[in-house]
Structure 1
C-alpha cells in the first residue's frame, strides 16, 4: 500500500496535534463531541459555521437530552486555506487526536483512507435510512476502493451552457441538447458565422488551472469511455485521451475557440463576462456559473435576463453509448464529505450526530435563507431547488450520471499534466504527440508504467 504525503511527518504531527483522543468524556457522565469544518463566524464559510453553532449543536443536544443522553457538542472553527486545513486535520488524525466529526473535500478521502486516518463505515452505519435519498453516483464522493468512508452533503455538476439569443441568430434550436461531440462542433461552426462571437469556450491550458481538468478534460474522458483512473491504474496515452485532445484541436485549431484566452491569468473570468455579454455561444462549466456568476442580483457577471437567455444541456458522450459505463451523457462533480474520527471515545453517538447533520431537516435548515445550493439528498433538493429550474436540472438529470475525481495523492500532479497536454494542443501540437508526452511525464509521477493503463 502506498503511504500518502500526510503520513510522513510523525514527529511534527505529535507536536502539533495536542494530547488525548477525540470525543473526551467528563467526570459527570456527559459525553463530549467535537465538530470541525473549514468555516468560521464572520469569515470563510460563515453560513456553515453559524448553522453548526446555532442550529446543529443545540438541536442535537436537546434531542439527546430528551432521550436521557447527556452530551455536550462543541465546534472547532477554522478559516484558513484548504491545504492548511487539510494538513492540520491530517496531523491531528495521525496522532490519534482531533475532532469527532470532520469535514473533508471529497478528493481527500482516498488519501486519508490510504494513510489509515479514516475507516470505512460499518454495516450499522450503512443501514442509515438517509442513504436511500443519496443517489449511488453521489455516494461515490465519499467512496474509495469500494468502501464508503463518510456521508456526502454538498455537491455540484458540469453542463454545457449556451446563449439562446446567439443560437437563434445562428439558426440553431434554443432547446438544444447535443448527443455527440460532432453535434457540439456543428453548433460551433454555425455560431462561427456570427460577428465577434467565440463559438465554444472549452477551458484549456495551465492558466485555467483545475478548471481545465474539471470542466474540460475529465468529463470528456468519461464521455470517451475511460475515466482518468479506473480504480487500479491511471489512464495513459490511448484512443480516449487522443479523442479528447482531438476535440481541443478541433475547437482551437478550427477557429471555434479563442486560444489566447486560455493563456491569460484571468481568462476564465473573461470568458464568463463575454458569455454574459452575448459574445460566447457555448461554455462548459459547473452550476457555479449559474448561481455565482450570472445571478442577476449577486453575480460577478450578472445577467438580468439569465433565466430566459441562458440554456443548459447535458454533456454528451463522444457518440451515443460511448461514455464510461455505456452512458449517453456524462458529468463531473465535486463536493464535501463528513467523516468520523476513528479515535473517538463515543463512536456510536458520533455517528448519530453525523447522521443528524445529514438529515433532511438539518440540510434544509442549512439552506434556509441562503442562495440555493445542491445537496447530496434528493428529498432536500426537491424542496430547496424547487424555484430554480437549472439547479433542479443538475440535481435530477446530471447527478445520477456523474463521476468524481480520483481521491488519490497523485491527482493534483496528474491534473497539471492534463492541463499541459491541452496547452500543447492549443499551441499546435498534434494530439497523438501531446498524449505521448503526457504519458512520459505520468510514468514518473505515478511511479512506473505498471500503474498506467493504455499504451
Structure 2
C-alpha cells in the first residue's frame, strides 16, 4: 500500500495551484481565513455553498467582532467530480498551500493522513481541541469517521446508517410480527423462509455482486463482516479468507441458492433501482439499505419509488450480529455509515483561529442552520433529537444505529479491495462454493495490498 505515492500521482495531474489564504494577516491588521468544499451555488452541493456564504461566514465574523477581533472569511467553491476535487486538495496540501478549513470525504482521511497531508487536530491547533463541547454530542462511533490510527483528524458532518427494512403487510401474511427485530442471521433466514412459504416473490434482498457496486459492500458484505466481530481492515492488516469472510459468503450462499433471494437481480446493471421498485410494489419482504431508502426512495410524495402508506406499511430493524454478542466490540447489532468530515490545514498561518472557525461550523446552531429546514441525520445528537423528532425512522437511526455503527477504512486501496469483496459475493451467488470464492478473494487481495504479509487470515 502506497497512499503517499497515490496522492502524489493524482496531484501531478493538476497543473494549477490554488492561492493560499491560510490565516494570513490582512493589510488592515485583521486576519483572513479560507474554507473550501466541493460545493458551489447553483451547482454541486449548492445548499452547502449557500449556507457557507449566507449564514456561516457572516455569523462567524460577527461572533469574532463581538470578541474584539477583525476576521474575514473567504469561501473557495468547487463544483467538480469528487476525484478531481480530491486531486486538487492533495496538490494544495502537498504544496503547503490551500484553505484553512477543508471538506474531505471520510473515506479519504486515512490516505491523506498517511501521506502526511493532514495532521491530528490537536497537533495542528493545540489542546483546546479536546476541550470542545461538541465531542460530548457526537457518539464515539460517529467520531470514528474522522479518526485514523486512534487520532482525531477531522470533525464529522452528516452521516447515515444501514438497517433492515421490511414490508409489514407481507410479514402479516407470513405470520411474522410487525415489530420484528432479528437477533441473529438465522432469524433473518427463518423470516425469509416464512415469507417464501407465504408466496412472496423475493423474501430477502441483500445486495451482492459487482453490478451493485459499493452498495454491495456497504449494504451487505461489510455490515455482515462486522457482525462476525471482524472488520475489513484492522491492526494494520486487511482481512483475507478468514472464517469471518467465509461466514459472510456462507450467508450469501444460503440466501441465493435456496430461493430466498433473486440471483438475477444482483447481476443487472440497474438491479439496485429495480430492487427499490420491487420493494415499493410489495414483491420484496426484507431489504438491507441505508436511511436514504426511507427519506428519498420510498418517500410518499417525492420518492424515486414512492409508497403512499410508507409510514404504516414499512418497518425497520437493526442488523443483527451473526449471533448475540458476536459483532465488533461485542455488539448484538451492527451497522455501517459513511459521510464527510472537515479537517484543518496543518500549514495554516493561524491554526488556532482556524480551529475556532471549524468548531463554530460544527456547533449546534450552525449544524441546525445547515439543514435549511430538512430532516437529515447530523453528527450531533442534540441537533438530531430536535430536528428528527417528527420522523420516527430517522430518529431510530440517530438514537439506535449511530452509537453502534462502523466505517470503511480511509485508505487508497480500499475501493479495489471492495471490488474484490463484491466479486466474492458474486461468485457464491452464481453457485460457486464458499471455499472457492474465499480462495479467489484471498489471491486478489494479496495482489492489491502488497502480499500475504499485509493480510490477516
TM-score in terms of structure 1 length: 0.97
Q: Tell me, yes or no, if the aligned pair for 1:180 and 1:320 is still in contact at 8 Å.
A: yes
SS of structure 2 residue aligned to 1:162: strand
Question: What's the CA shift string for 1:187-230, capped at 9, x where partnerless?
Answer: 00111123352100000000000000010000000001101111
1:40-76 deviation line (CA, Å, top 9, x unaligned): 1111111111111110000000111111111111111
Residue 431 (structure 2) pairs with residue 428 (structure 1): yes
* Residue number in structure 2 paired with 1:70: 70
**Aligned partner (choices 368, 372, 380) of residue 377 of structure 1:** 380
Distance 1:173 1:18 in 2: 58
Q: 1:319 and 1:116, CA in 2 relative to 1: closer, same or farther beyond 3 A?
A: same
Distance 2:10 2:446 in 1: 28
Residue in structure 1 matched with residue 173 of structure 2 by the alignment: 169
Cα 1:278/1:338, change in 2 over 3 Å: same
CA distance in 2, matches of 1:335, 1:20: 27
1:283-302, aligned counterparts within 5 Å? 283-302=287-306
Partners of 1:329 and 1:379 lie apart in 2 by 23
Q: 1:130-160, CA deviations, whole angstroms, 9 ceiling, x for partnerless residues?
A: 1010111110100000100011111100000
Aligned-pair CA distance for 1:19: 4.9
TM-aligned CA deviation for residue 13 of structure 1 = 7.3
Deviates more, 1:105-114 or 1:193-202: 193-202
Is 1:136 paired with 2:147? no
The residue aligned with 1:49 is 49
**CA distance in structure 2 between the partners assigned to 1:11 and 1:279 by the alignment:** 48
Q: State how far apart, in whole Å, the 1-side matches of 2:288 and 2:385 are.
A: 25
Query: Is residue 310 of structure 2 the alignment partner of residue 306 of structure 1?
Result: yes
Give the secondary structure class of the aligned counterpart of 1:33. strand
Structure 1 gap segments, 5+ residues each: none
Deviation at 1:22, TM superposition (A): 2.4
Matches within 5 A, 1:5-16: 5-9=5-9, 12=12, 15-16=15-16
Q: In the TM superposition, what is the alpha-carbon distance from 1:25 to its structure 2 partner?
A: 2.4
**3-state SS of 1:16 partner:** coil
1:393 aligns with 2:396: yes
Residues 399-429 of structure 1: per-residue CA shift (max 9 Å, x gap): 1111000111110010000000001111110
Q: 1: distance between equivalents of 2:9 and 2:319?
A: 42
Q: Report what 2:338 is aligned to.
A: 334
Match for residue 24 of structure 1? 24
How far does residue 84 in structure 1 lie from its aligned partner after superposition? 1.1
The match for 1:441 is 444
Question: Aligned partners of 1:14 and 1:262: how far apart in 2?
Answer: 37
Task: Verify: 1:200 aligned to 2:204, yes or no.
Answer: yes
> What SS does the corresponding residue of 2:172 show, helix, strand or coil?
helix
Matched, 1:124 2:128: yes
Question: Is 2:38 aligned against 1:38?
Answer: yes
Inter-partner Cα distance in structure 2 for 1:3 and 1:219: 25
Residue 301 of structure 1 aligns to a residue in which SS?
coil
Whether 1:87 aligns to 2:91 is no
Give the C-alpha shift of residue 35 in structure 1.
0.8
In structure 2, C-alpha distance between the alignment counterparts of 1:242 and 1:112, rounded to whole Å: 32
Partner of 2:152: 148
**Mapped contact 2:229–2:326 kept (Cα < 8 A):** yes
The answer to whether 1:244 aligns with 2:248 is yes
Instruction: Select between 261-270 and 21-30 the one with higher mean Cα deviation.
Output: 21-30
The SS at the match of 1:118 is: coil
Secondary structure of the structure 2 residue equivalent to 1:245: helix
Partner of 1:407: 410
Q: How many Å apart are 1:111 and its aligned residue?
A: 0.3
Whole-angstrom distance in 2 between the partners of 1:95 and 1:14? 12
Shift of 1:18: 3.9
In the alignment, the residues of structure 2 paired with residue 96 and residue 425 of structure 1 have an alpha-carbon distance, to the nearest angstrom, of 48
What's 1:419 paired with? 422
Which of 281, 287, 300 is matched with 2:285 structurally? 281
Q: Helix, strand or coil for the counterpart of 2:234?
A: coil
- Is the 2:183–2:332 contact (alpha carbons within 8 Å) kept by the matching residues of 1? yes
Alpha-carbon distance in 2 for matches of 1:11, 1:137:
32
Separation in 2 of the partners of 1:428 and 1:140? 37
Deviation at 1:10, TM superposition (A): 9.0
Q: Distance in 2 between matches of 1:41 and 1:419?
A: 36
Aligned Cα RMSD in Å?
1.4
Sort the Cα spacing of 1:154 and 1:355 in 2 relative to 1 into closer, same or farther, 3 A. same
Moved more, 361-370 or 131-140: 361-370
Using the alignment, how far apart are the partners of 1:126 and 1:13 within structure 2? 37
Q: 1:9, CA displacement in angstroms?
A: 4.0
SS in 1 for 2:16: helix
Q: What displacement does 1:11 show?
A: 8.0
Q: Give 5+ residue unaligned stretches, structure 2.
A: none
| 1:233 corresponds to | 237
Q: Does structure 1 residue 112 correspond to structure 2 residue 112?
A: yes
Q: Distance in 2 between matches of 1:164 and 1:134?
A: 33
